[in-house]
Structure 1
Amino acid sequence: MVVASPLVQVQAQMDSEVDEVFLNVTPLHRAERYIQTELNKLQNSDSCCGLRKFEDWENQLPASCLCTPPTSPPASDPSSRPGNSSSGGDCVMVGSDQHPPTPQVTDKTWVHSKPCGPILKSYLSFPIKLRIGIISAFATIAMAAIALCLALGLEKYWKKPPVESTVDDFNRVKYEPKPSLT
């Protein structure tokens, strides 16, 4: 527990530092090419856009942010509403000034509304959470083992030994422990 406690504090500090990096790296279209490439991979794989919101890209949305607009639901299906998920993520419509320069541009562009920042933070904090989990599991097992050892060590004080009583010729009761099989 002494080792796991600082890790919890480290994780909280790391989360705040990552939030600070997210603020400093926006707008994303001006970020380093490597950051843009890796973020595009994440956006493609997890159907998300931007670090905190899709506006992090300002008016230069990459193709990895685009999603298929939701189809209008049949009238018989009340659970489906416009704007619900399409291909794994929620889509929102953005204005025509935020579309990437492609020949197929329409005046309505749909992008993933889910931000990538929380996903990225969970990837970054996984090693710390794993260490906290392993240490906590080890500490729990160690405490259970100590409790079990104490219980087994004190067992002879809790149990009353089986006693055999006999009456002798003078009408006296004699108590003797029963012989054990061990």
Structure 2
Amino acid sequence: MGKINGCLKCVFFLLNAMFGIFGGLMIFGLVKAQAVEPQLPSAVGPWLWAGLWVFSLGMLMVSILGETAATTEKTAMLKVFAGLVVAVMIIMMILGIVMASYRNKVKVSFENISPDIVGEMMAENNIREILNDAQGPLQCCGFMSYQDWGNSIPGSCKCSESTFCTNRPGNLDGPAIIYSRPCFPIASDLLDLALTVSMGVLFGFAVTALLCLKASLLMIRQVRRHNGGRGGQAIAMTAPGYKLTPGI
């Protein structure tokens, strides 16, 4: 019979599996993103990219350590795991708070965007290329309207088989039928959704880390109890016995 309760160990395994899956998905996402866009690490910053890799691998290693500690039922490994889980929980909470603050700032910035800012953005060739690539999938045209493109509307604004179509003004060049809605509100809503989901994931894993910490502490107590507290019972069991002689 093991030292740790079977139900507790199963719950602990499931909680750790979530960390392993999360770390594995992050590693897969980083590899896939770099394969699609090789310049992504330099775009987001080498330090941030390295931090994402360290965090992803750390999540996977914490999961492996937890599974190993529960399997071997070693208090030393369970203590190390508990310490790492505390660090993960703190990091998750900090990232969640930072994400919430960043989400609010982005939302305020998007609401206060002005035509002058849009004009400055459209003057950048890389911004124009990004917008041109996004218009087809998002079914939109221009940041705030098709007028952002000036007198020549690109082919990516061409609308077909969509409810968001309108006729191109006759004084402009480009497709005869274009998307009627701008891209900026759509991108803003998508970014807000992505940040909200990220916040939920971070706070959710912070709660999972707290549950893992609680489970690891319970398992440490069960192992100690099975071994006789801090060793007193084990020593008593191995102490030499004495045979009582009748009449003495």
Q: TM-score, normalised by structure 1?
A: 0.51
- Is the 1:93–1:111 Cα contact (8 Å) retained in structure 2? yes
Report the Cα distance in structure 2 between the residues aligned to 1:43 and 1:89, rounded to whole angstroms. Answer: 15
1:95 paired to 2:169: yes
Alignment correspondent of 2:23 = none
Which deviates more from structure 2 when the two are superposed, residues 124-133 or residues 5-14? 124-133
Residue 99 of structure 2 is aligned to residue 14 of structure 1 = no
Equivalent residue for 1:113, pick from 180, 183, 205: 180
Q: Which moved more, 1:138-147 or 1:12-21?
A: 138-147
- Give the CA deviation at 1:131: 3.8
Shift of 1:91: 0.3
**Structure 2 vs 1, CA of residues 134 and 47 (structure 1 numbering), >3 Å: closer, same or farther?**
same
Find the partner of 2:153 among 61, 68, 71: 61
In the alignment, the residues of structure 2 paired with residue 33 and residue 134 of structure 1 have an alpha-carbon distance, to the nearest angstrom, of 35
Q: Is the 8 A contact 1:22 1:52 kept in 2?
A: no
Distance of 1:116 and 1:28 partners within structure 2:
16
| Alignment partner, residue 5 of structure 1 | 97
Q: Which has the higher contact order (CA 8 A, sep 6+)?
A: 2
Whole-angstrom distance in 2 between the partners of 1:66 and 1:96? 15
Q: 1:34 aligns with which of 126, 129, 134?
A: 126
Unpaired runs of 5+ in structure 2? 1-91, 217-248
Worse-superposed segment, 139-148 or 35-44: 139-148
> Which of 132, 143, 147 in structure 1 is aligned with 2:199?
132
Alignment size in residue pairs: 127
Identity %: 23
Deviation, structure 1 residue 9: 2.0
Task: Give ranges in structure 1 of 5+ residues lacking alignment.
Answer: 69-85, 150-182
Partner SS for 2:164: strand
Q: CA deviation at 1:43?
A: 1.0
For residues 123 and 192 of structure 2, what CA distance do their matches in structure 1 show?
23
Cα distance in structure 1, aligned partners of 2:99 and 2:122:
34
CA RMSD, Structure 1 to Structure 2 (Å): 3.8
1:2 CA displacement: 5.3
- 1:144 deviation in Å? 6.0
Relative to total residues, which structure has the larger strand share, 1 or 2? 1
For the 8 Å contact 2:93–2:206, the answer to whether it is kept is no
